[in-house]
Amino acid sequence: MMSFTGQTQIYGIIGDPISHSLSPLMQNAAIAAAGLDACYLPFHVPSAQLGVAVEGLRALGIDGFNVTLPHKQQILSRLDWVDENATLIGAVNTVVCRQRCLHGYNTDCSGFLRALREDLQFEPAGRNVLLFGAGGACRAALVALLRSQAQNLWLVNRRLDKAQGLAQEFQELFPDQQISAHSLQDTTYRQLLSQADLIVNTTSVGLRGEDLECCPLERVKAGTVVYDMVYTVVETAFVHRARRQGLSAADGLNMLAAQGEDAFFLWHDILAEKGLMKKSLHAWRRTHSH
């Protein structure tokens, strides 16, 4: 049972909807394990209230908060400082409040990279990566992969213009790496699958249990790693198929834990107990998947 004092540090998450968020579960587990006098709460903030909510959090002296849909982009202009990667991505998911100054970070980006390295032993430097999607989740993955020196990045999207825009924007910033855009409708991208070292699903396909059918895995080379940013209450169909084929694969639940651990470190200046957030998310999965 948690007990609070006048010194209890308050953290939380803002989003709409928020009741489904798993962040309070894993953050409070890590706070308890570290013996911190702190708590982490969900705040339901509709878009029209974002400005007053952020000023309210500042006025209340909240110590830090996560930001989830639909506020990750809109919050940038309301912060006092935004770190370089979050600026490049155009999205903030973690805010640290220091003497009522609000500092924005993107731990989806750092968490994705850490999950790739720690859970899948994948090091992006010099590698070929094929990404499905060209939305906000793709931007975070792209910055993580470009910063860690991935060599070829192939963006495959239903709307080709969005992938082209993204490729052009980042190609100018990272001229030594190759970024190209491909249409999902034109199946020539399938030839790239056999040359990919890493395949990432950044689309929302899979949220309703459906498979990422546009990604056949029969011809991928052995050792190709699959990352699905989607998570559901059971293992996603795409990850299930990849694992059945003997490929190393992880889904968005690992990334959720990794971004949470990185936020925890930014706020508390200590590491969360290793594996604890992941463990609480997998326990949630076990109790809700029946």
Residue numbers annotated as active site: 72
CB of residue 137 to ligand ATR, shortest distance in Å:
4
Q: Is 117 in the site for ligand ATR (CB under 6 A)?
A: no
- Cβ(235)–Cβ(209) under 8 Å? no
The amino acid present at 161, given as its one-letter code, is D
Chain centre to alpha carbon of residue 125: 20
CB of residue 71 to ligand ATR, shortest distance in Å:
12
- Token pair for 90: 């155009």
Among 135, 147, 165, 248, binds ligand ATR (CB under 6 A): 135
Among 54, 67, 134, 237, binds ligand ATR (CB under 6 A): 134
DSSP state of 148: T
Cis peptide bond prior to 17, omega within 30° of 0: yes
Q: Label residue 185 exposed, middle or buried (CB < 10 Å: 0-12, 13-18, 19+).
A: exposed
Q: Which residue is nearest to ligand ATR (CB)?
A: 135
Q: Is 205 in the site for ligand ATR (CB under 6 A)?
A: yes
Write the interaction track for ligand ATR spanning residues 225-264; mark x where CB under 6 A is met and - where it is not. Answer: ----------------------------------------
Q: Is 204 in the site for ligand ATR (CB under 6 A)?
A: yes
Quick count: other Cβ atoms within 10 Å of Cβ 103?
Answer: 18
SS3 139: helix
Among 93, 94, 106, 203, binds ligand ATR (CB under 6 A): 203
Binders of ligand ATR among 138-157, rule CB under 6 A? 138, 157
Q: Interface with ligand ATR by CB under 6 A: which range of 196-204, 217-225, 233-241, 258-266?
A: 196-204
Q: Is 133 in the site for ligand ATR (CB under 6 A)?
A: yes
Q: Is 224 in the site for ligand ATR (CB under 6 A)?
A: no
Q: Is 165 in the site for ligand ATR (CB under 6 A)?
A: no
* Count of residues that interact with ligand ATR, criterion CB under 6 A: 15
Quick count: other Cβ atoms within 10 Å of Cβ 55?
Answer: 12
Phi then psi for residue 172, to 5 deg, are: -65, -35
Write the interaction track for ligand ATR spanning residues 26-45; mark x where CB under 6 A is met and - where it is not. Answer: --------------------
SS3 9: strand
Residue showing tokens 């793709």: 138
CB of residue 164 to ligand ATR, shortest distance in Å:
11
Strands 152-157 and 178-183, sheet pairing: parallel
- Token pair for 212: 């990422």
Positions in the binding site for ligand ATR (CB under 6 A): 133-138, 157-159, 162, 184, 202-205
